[in-house]
């Protein structure tokens, strides 16, 4: 069993930065690719970023490319999402997710591909 716990969400002004953290407990961290998704009330959960099991490969949604960075620290069993130049459109609940190691590029942006989810952390960007 894998348990994920997000933290770091808060209210921030447009143009500001935040770092979200996702702490994992349970089975070996290296057995999983990790991802971040976000959801606005009334809309579907959408892909933000993904990192492969050893941190060497990252993928991003076009809307956050060049502003967000996903990384992982195996020693701390934690995945991070560094967010820069935030805009009100980035306001959402951000979720961390994990999927078993396999083809990293296959359906990396698909909600159904991920087996474990955290409870989410709220990010609000004011204009």
Q: Specify the pLDDT at position 25.
A: 87
**Of the candidates 54, 52, 40, the residue with the CA atom closest to the CA atom of residue 95:** 40
pLDDT value at 31 more than 90: no
Mean pLDDT, all residues of the chain: 95
pLDDT value at 27 more than 80: no
Measured between alpha carbons, how far is 51 from 77 in angstroms, rounded to an integer? 13
Q: How confident is the model at residue 64 (pLDDT cuts 50, 70, 90)?
A: very high
Report how far apart, in Å, the C-alpha atoms of 56 and of each of 16, 41, 51, 59 are: 27, 33, 7, 10
Residue 38: is it exposed, middle or buried by C-beta count within 10 angstroms (0-12/13-18/19+)?
buried
pLDDT value at 29 more than 90: no
Under DSSP, the state recorded for 56 is: S
Measured between alpha carbons, how far is 95 from 6 in angstroms, rounded to an integer? 7
Match 């991070």 to its residue by tokens: 80
Q: Specify the pLDDT at position 102.
A: 87
Q: What is the mean pLDDT of residues 14-30?
A: 90
List pLDDT tens digits, range 72-112: 999 899 999 999 999 999 999 999 999 998 899 999 999 99
Q: Specify the pLDDT at position 26.
A: 78
Q: Specify the pLDDT at position 5.
A: 96
């Amino acid at each position: 069993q894998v348990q994920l716990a997000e933290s770091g969400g808060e209210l921030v002004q447009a143009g500001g930065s935040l770092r979200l953290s996702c702490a994992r407990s349970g089975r070996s961290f290296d057995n999983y690719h990790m991802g971040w998704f976000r959801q606005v009330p009334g809309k579907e959960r959408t892909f933000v970023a993904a990192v492969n099991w050893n941190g060497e490969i990252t993928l991003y949604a076009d809307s956050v490319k060049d502003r967000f960075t996903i990384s992982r620290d195996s020693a701390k069993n934690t995945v991070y999402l560094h967010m820069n130049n935030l805009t009100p459109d980035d306001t959402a609940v951000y979720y961390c997710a994990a999927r078993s190691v396999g083809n990293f590029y296959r359906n990396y942006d698909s909600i159904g591909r991920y087996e474990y989810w955290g409870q989410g952390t709220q990010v609000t960007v004011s204009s």
